[in-house]
Structure 1
Amino acid sequence: MEVFYQSPATFVLIAANVIASMIAFSNPRFMEQNLFHVGPILQGREWHRIVTSGFLHGGFFHLLINMYVLYGFGRLLEHPNVLGTGGFLIVYGAALLGGSFWSLLENRRKPDYRALGASGATSGIILSVCLFAPFATLILFVIPMPAVVFGVVFIVLSAVLAQRENKVIGHEAHLGGALAGLIATMLVRPDALSIFSEQVAARLGGG
């Protein structure tokens, strides 16, 4: 229980994702009414989809990956010395909304476009962690690299891949979530950029 009390928001968000996804797995109507679908959002004004789609997943593996990321990075950000519970929730929420709105902007002329998943929000918390621990080792496509390099590569790759046609991964949501997460982190912790800069300067200076 001590672990829960140290990171309550992380565990509540994991539970919400798991419960909503499990319901959707066995209830196609629930899934259809809550996933990200451009046509109903813009034409039917079903704005709830912008949020609810961030708690649904396409399968158990999709859910597992996002919850693994949320568990690992969420607990780091929710620590009182980093963002705290309130700050973490603000960053997570901003990343979720940022990913959805960016995806809506990119696909506004594609009424049939559909998407789902927490990866917009989890992209934001990964990039947020990069500000506080730029030289922590993260892995991208089985390649280990410093978090600061990971962040740059992730944003560039997401921006490039979002322009591809017939994509099966919502890279635009990753990009929007990552950028929103970074901005929200700097609003919640105005010294975050200084923390990042000092660590980079110390590493480059051999300190």
Structure 2
Amino acid sequence: MTSIVMVEMPFDGPISLFDVPVTTALLIANIAVSWYVLYVNPRLLEPLSFQPYRIFENDEYYRFLTAGFVHGSVAHLAVNMITLFFFGPILEGILGSLEFFMLYVLCEILAHTVTFTYHYTDPQYAAIGASGAVSGVVFGFCLFFPLEMLYLFFILPIPAVLFAVGYVVGSIYAFQKNQRENQAGGIAHEAHIGGAIAGILVTIALDGRALSSFIDSMMTLV
């Protein structure tokens, strides 16, 4: 994610991290692995990162998962984990822990799949971070609560559905701009788009209530 987003609880009562074991485990795993790579053994960054060319040439498919648990800086890690902290418990509470785990992993893989299709011939390209999976979580939330107010950078209120539209449009524009300028850029915008789309499709596949909830919410505006 390229911006920190906060959401107020859309239902009564706080959610304890003890009640959402998958979100808690993902937060701990991301923080622990990223901290270890950043400050203890930086040499692990290269073998764990997402490098489409090496995957294509050497069948290193494990990178589809490992790249999502390493980050390039504390700020990079913080943005993704703060977003997961706000949205993960809500969505895990709705879907269930197993389904939420499936959503997270599938969004990570599918987001990297989009990146792979564009960069598998580029030996210089590498990407890291949980942005694809976190994007999927946010967009899964937006299906259930499209009119819920999100707060960009904790202060700017925006309905979830408008955030989702702006996020996708902005990512597409940034990706096309990088393509025109023949630059990989510092942000994997194509992975964000892939994660967002995956979040919508996988959430609907896991819970049929998601689509009907979205439609019912939007109908209140008519």
* Structure-to-structure mapping, 1:89-128, within 5 angstroms: 89-128=101-140
Look up the equivalent residue of 2:212 and give its one-letter code.
S
Q: SS at the partner of 1:145?
A: strand
> Gapped runs of 5+ residues in structure 1?
none
Which of 1 and 2 has higher RCO (CA within 8 Å, sep 6+)?
2
Larger displacement relative to structure 2 (190-199 or 135-144): 135-144
Counterpart in 1 of 2:165? 152
Look up the equivalent residue of 2:97 and give its one-letter code.
T
Q: Quick one: distance in 2 between partners of 1:29 and 1:139?
A: 37
User: Does structure 2 retain, via aligned residues, the 8 Å contact 1:23–1:30?
Assistant: no
* Structure-to-structure mapping, 1:127-166, within 5 angstroms: 127-140=139-152, 143-163=156-176, 164=178, 165-166=183-184
Q: SS at the partner of 1:70?
A: helix
User: Does structure 2 retain, via aligned residues, the 8 Å contact 1:38–1:112?
Assistant: no
User: Does structure 1 retain, via aligned residues, the 8 Å contact 2:53–2:119?
Assistant: no
Q: SS at the partner of 1:52?
A: helix
1:61 to 65, 70, 75: 75
* Structure-to-structure mapping, 1:1-207, within 5 angstroms: 3-25=16-38, 26-79=40-93, 82-140=94-152, 143-163=156-176, 164=178, 165-202=183-220, 204-205=221-222
> What is the TM-score normalised by the length of structure 1?
0.92
> Gapped runs of 5+ residues in structure 2?
1-14
Aligned positions, number: 201
User: Does structure 1 retain, via aligned residues, the 8 Å contact 2:53–2:121?
Assistant: no
Q: Quick one: distance in 1 between partners of 2:144 and 2:123?
A: 39
What RMSD over aligned residues (CA atoms) do the two structures have, in Å? Answer: 1.5
Q: SS at the partner of 1:115?
A: coil
User: Does structure 1 retain, via aligned residues, the 8 Å contact 2:171–2:192?
Assistant: yes
1:119-144 C-alpha deviation (Å, 9 max, x unpaired): 10000000010001111122457743
